[in-house]
Structure 1
Amino acid sequence: MGGGWGCQGVGVARTPRRPAELVGRVFFAREAIHRGLLTKNDLRTSAWRRIFHNVYADARLTLTHRARCRAAASWLFPPGCAIAGRSAVALHGGVAPHPDDPVEVVVRPESRFGPLAGFLIHVAAWREGEVQRRDGCAVTTPVRTCWDLANWLDLVDAVALIDSLRHVHAVTLPELEHYLSQHRGERGWRKFAEAVALSDGGAESLPESRLRVRLVRAGLPRPATQHVVERAGRFIARVDLAWPELKIAIEYDGLWHHDPAQLHRDRQRLNKLLGDEWIVLHVTSQRMREDFDGFLAEVHAALRSRSRRPS
């Protein structure tokens, strides 16, 4: 009797429905329900993941930030709305935000969009030609994206993202300078001018860019990015930042704790510079956060020592 009672199915979770049409897909929930593929209760199961209001995905699907941008533009955007800011950087091939970071959009003042969970919304107008189609999305052009970054973000973060776009050749310095000349005198042009002047397409990471900008804003001479050191025409090493004429280099030590072998290779590479009398200073993300002034003093001391050195 006891065994028969236990077979009634009480407390047994049912297998979530996974219609083949939706497996591995991002979809508009209202449409899926209208077609009879799912019910509202089905959407609450572990099979599906809510991305935005009425937008869901197969829970087993790994979503990038770019994919979330495409989903938002496909099903939620009204006219007068475009991917912008950090999200636009990702769509143009630059550094992408974390997959779960809000999708950044710009909305014309007359358009109605938001507030909605999962979005960072800016209200601003744009000129003809400043929004284009990319990956099926309306997105601000690279140069307009740089303008927005300079006006929406802290200068250090804005320059780092502009560096990212320049590094992948999504935008060039002449294009930025031409855009500046067209908008000189408008609200925000000074911020844009400063960001453009500090940008450098040679930078290869956001932390490296932030370090460079902080050094320059602290009054140090502008360092070269990704400087290649050679000896008798042969490659010796490439360093993140350098003052080549003084033989001083700075290396940003990032995620070495995740890759000890890479740390070993880089230290071996940098040790070769000692034979050429280079000073190599190292800085970590923790030092940047907690003791940047101390590191800055070390850089100042190195620059002074080499500046006094007889030629």
Structure 2
Amino acid sequence: MAHVFIGSEALAAGKVTRYELGRHHVRVLPNVYAPRRAQLTLLDRIVAAWLWSKRRGVVTGLAASALHGARWVKRGVVIELNLANNKSPAGVLTRSETLLDDEIAHLRGMAVTTVERTAFDLARRLPSGRAVQRLDALVRAADFRAEDVLELAQRHRGARDCLRIPRILDLMDAGAQSPQETWLRLLFINAGYPRPQTQIPILGPSGFPKYYLDMGWPEFMVAAEYDGEQHRLDDAQYRGDIGRSEYIERLGWRRIRVLAGDSGASILRRAELAGLRR
């Protein structure tokens, strides 16, 4: 993590001279600096935005979800703050909305929306598919209850797009291990197939789980799995996948293996060929 700091404070404290500030540091945001050669992480950018707010902003949205441990948040994402300021710099988005005291937590020294409030905001602001992807990642990291988010939503009934929150929360599933798995699950649901179960345990000879299937329908012995690049590029994992596949197939499972670039239509055709019915 780079050392991100407020330039005027560092000058006043004598930690840097004006020459050193201009020579060895780069301005990240107005009055916020970092070492010139530093590769800023997402956390660096969140800290920079919070410092730019003069430590008054509350981190919200995707940045808040990342602070709560959610994966798959891109480093260059816009940092959202709850702050009364309508002139935010590039890379920062401010909103002035009602936040109750129990909807604010403190992480890494910064004010951040709680997990439940973060879920509430993601569910109503993002397009439906992306909202479910982000909630899947958040609930997997922070293990919150949908009921608590719905209760919070009741406090803010006048907030924009609140009516869609129950539907988005109903689609949430902590078993999704990547945004691609969420996309695949929603593909089946939106096409009218039964909702797939996620992380289906496959028992070994000992009677304990030996493998887990990404998602599937145990009653039909049909599964669907998303194979990322690492499955083909990592030789050890590739060899392990062969043994895993043979074992699962011996048990009678039919698997729909999905790769990046596969179209939704082709995946659904393969689902029908595997014996799955809408």
Q: Same fold per TM (> 0.5)? A: yes
The answer to whether the aligner puts 1:26 opposite 2:4 as a matched pair is yes
Deviations 1:17-47 (Å, cap 9, x if unpaired)?
Answer: xxxxxx95222223334437232x65554x4
Cα drift, residue 69 of structure 1:
1.2
The answer to whether the aligner puts 1:173 opposite 2:151 as a matched pair is no
Cα drift, residue 169 of structure 1:
2.9
Q: State the alpha-carbon separation in 1 of the partners of residues 192 and 178 from structure 2.
A: 22
Q: State the alpha-carbon separation in 2 of the partners of residues 74 and 136 from structure 1.
A: 11
Preserved contact between residue 216 and residue 222 of structure 2 (Cα < 8 Å): yes
CA distance change for structure 1 residues 180 and 169 in 2, over 3 Å: closer, same or farther?
Answer: same
One of 201, 212, 233 as aligned partner of 1:238: 212
One of 242, 246, 252 as aligned partner of 2:226: 252
Cα drift, residue 51 of structure 1:
2.2
- The 5 Å alignment of 1:25-104 reads 25-34=3-12, 35=14, 37-39=16-18, 42-45=20-23, 47-77=24-54, 79=56, 81-95=57-71, 97-104=73-80
Residue aligning to 2:260: 285
Cα drift, residue 50 of structure 1:
3.2
CA distance change for structure 1 residues 297 and 140 in 2, over 3 Å: closer, same or farther?
Answer: same
Q: State the alpha-carbon separation in 2 of the partners of residues 200 and 36 from structure 1.
A: 48
Q: How many residues align?
A: 275
One of 267, 270, 274 as aligned partner of 2:245: 270
CA distance change for structure 1 residues 262 and 51 in 2, over 3 Å: closer, same or farther?
Answer: farther
Q: State the alpha-carbon separation in 1 of the partners of residues 273 and 157 from structure 2.
A: 39
Cα drift, residue 263 of structure 1:
2.8
- The 5 Å alignment of 1:89-238 reads 89-95=65-71, 97-107=73-83, 111-180=84-153, 187-232=160-205, 233-238=207-212
Deviations 1:207-239 (Å, cap 9, x if unpaired)?
Answer: 212221232122111111111111451434211
Cα drift, residue 113 of structure 1:
4.6
Q: State the alpha-carbon separation in 2 of the partners of residues 247 and 122 from structure 1.
A: 48
SS at match of 2:112: strand
RMSD of aligned alpha carbons:
2.7
Preserved contact between residue 258 and residue 267 of structure 2 (Cα < 8 Å): yes
Q: Is the deviation greater in 68-77 or in 134-143?
A: 68-77
Q: State the alpha-carbon separation in 1 of the partners of residues 68 and 106 from structure 2.
A: 11
Letter in 2 for 1:277: G
Deviations 1:60-85 (Å, cap 9, x if unpaired)?
Answer: 44432123212322343464x31111
SS at match of 1:286: coil
- Runs of at least 5 residues in structure 2 that lack an aligned partner in the other structure: none
Preserved contact between residue 70 and residue 135 of structure 1 (Cα < 8 Å): no
Residue aligning to 1:298: 270
Q: Is the deviation greater in 255-264 or in 145-154?
A: 255-264
CA distance change for structure 1 residues 217 and 105 in 2, over 3 Å: closer, same or farther?
Answer: farther
Preserved contact between residue 131 and residue 139 of structure 1 (Cα < 8 Å): yes
Segments of 4+ moved more than 6 angstroms:
none
Q: Is the deviation greater in 53-62 or in 204-213?
A: 53-62
Q: Is the deviation greater in 88-97 or in 171-180?
A: 171-180
Deviations 1:73-102 (Å, cap 9, x if unpaired)?
Answer: 2343464x3111110101111125222332
Deviations 1:177-215 (Å, cap 9, x if unpaired)?
Answer: 433555568642321111110001222222212221232
- Percent sequence identity is 29
Preserved contact between residue 86 and residue 97 of structure 1 (Cα < 8 Å): yes
CA distance change for structure 1 residues 235 and 173 in 2, over 3 Å: closer, same or farther?
Answer: same
Cα drift, residue 139 of structure 1:
1.2
